[in-house]
Amino acid sequence: MQEAPTANPENSSSENTEEYREPAIRIKELDFLYGNNQVIHNVTLDIFPKEIMAFIGPSGCGKSTLLRCLNRMNDLVEGARIGKGSIEIHGVDLHDKSVDVIELRKKVGMVFQKSNPFPKSIYQNVAYGLQIQGVKSKRVVDQKVEESLRKAALWEEVKDRLNENAYGLSGGQQQRLCIARTLAVEPEIILMDEPCSALDPVATGRVEELILELKNEYTIVVVTHNMQQAGRISDRTAFFYLGKLIECDLTKKIFLNPSKQQTEDYISGKFG
């Protein structure tokens, strides 16, 4: 993948010496509050198509809140609001009156920290989103279920047990099932909030391999407390502290030669 241009709080330009690339997500001078408590301060950040962006930082630094701003999941929290600034996806302001939030969440899918399969069969978990969209053809649903499970690297493990309850799967399999459920409704962007925090090392490795494969088709934003994981899977990394974007750059640079002392202190374990 071509290296993405550097972004930082002072200059989030998406222009480099080779070409201009239109960002998939553009966050401009964003302030976000829960009631009177401001949790995100003047964040400006571009995220580019088919890259993996990692958000890192200590607990309470605003990274999960920012992630949930990207598909307006924070709308569900009483008192949550943007103070100023904007978020655009493919040039469309997410808070424009013309934006259908249900359609937005279909295009910007979410995978949560704890796998949350429905108490239904493996098949029904993946088919659910298609069915509520009104897809009635069993052939089309069958095809999409298989395709999504294959993309989630789960098909070979479950193809003979599709009618079994999803709760019978291991934790890692359940998380990949939730990813398949997200893929079935054909998102353009996938948000992942600590997708491996509840998994053992083997299951974590499988999910990380899957994330790297999915980058070929999707823009992916991952919140992680695991800095080693950010180093393994992301193209660029954004470091947040106390609700502010301290630095965003190529992951290799963030970990080996950060521009900001706060970033270096966090990476080296001096706080966090």
Predicted confidence (pLDDT) per residue in 168-206, tens digit: 999 999 999 999 999 999 999 999 999 999 899 999 999
What span, in angstroms and rounded, lies between the C-alpha atoms of 154 and 170?
A: 12
The residues with which 43 forms a beta bridge, in sequence order, are 30
| Predicted pLDDT of residue 9 | 42
Checking if the pLDDT of 252 tops 90, the result is yes
Kindly state the percentage of the chain with pLDDT values over 70: 93
- Place 19 in a pLDDT band, splitting at 50, 70 and 90: low
- Residue 37 phi, psi (nearest 5): -95, 110
| Predicted pLDDT of residue 29 | 98
Look at the pTM and tell me if it is higher than 0.85.
yes
Average pLDDT, the chain: 91
What does the block give as tokens for 243? 């609700």
Checking if the pLDDT of 51 tops 50, the result is yes
| Predicted pLDDT of residue 107 | 95
Checking if the pLDDT of 22 tops 60, the result is yes
Average the pLDDT over 10-30 and give the result: 70
E strand spans, 116-235: 189-193, 219-223
Residue 209 CA: distances (Å) to CA of 144, 148, 187, 204: 22, 16, 19, 9
Helix (H) / strand (E) containing 44:
strand 37-47
Average the pLDDT over 207-233 and give the result: 95
Checking if the pLDDT of 52 tops 80, the result is yes
Asked if residue 192 lies in contact with residue 226, where contact means CB atoms within 8 angstroms, the answer is no
What span, in angstroms and rounded, lies between the C-alpha atoms of 82 and 33?
A: 6
Average the pLDDT over 114-127 and give the result: 95
**Which comes out higher in pLDDT, residue 271 or 74?**
74
- Place 153 in a pLDDT band, splitting at 50, 70 and 90: very high
The residues with which 93 forms a beta bridge, in sequence order, are 88
Kindly write down the DSSP assignment for every residue of 52-106, as one continuous string.
Answer: EEEEE-STTSSHHHHHHHTTTGGGGSTTEEEEEEEEEETTEETTSTT--HHHHHH
Among 108, 76, 75, residue whose Cα is nearest residue 92 = 108
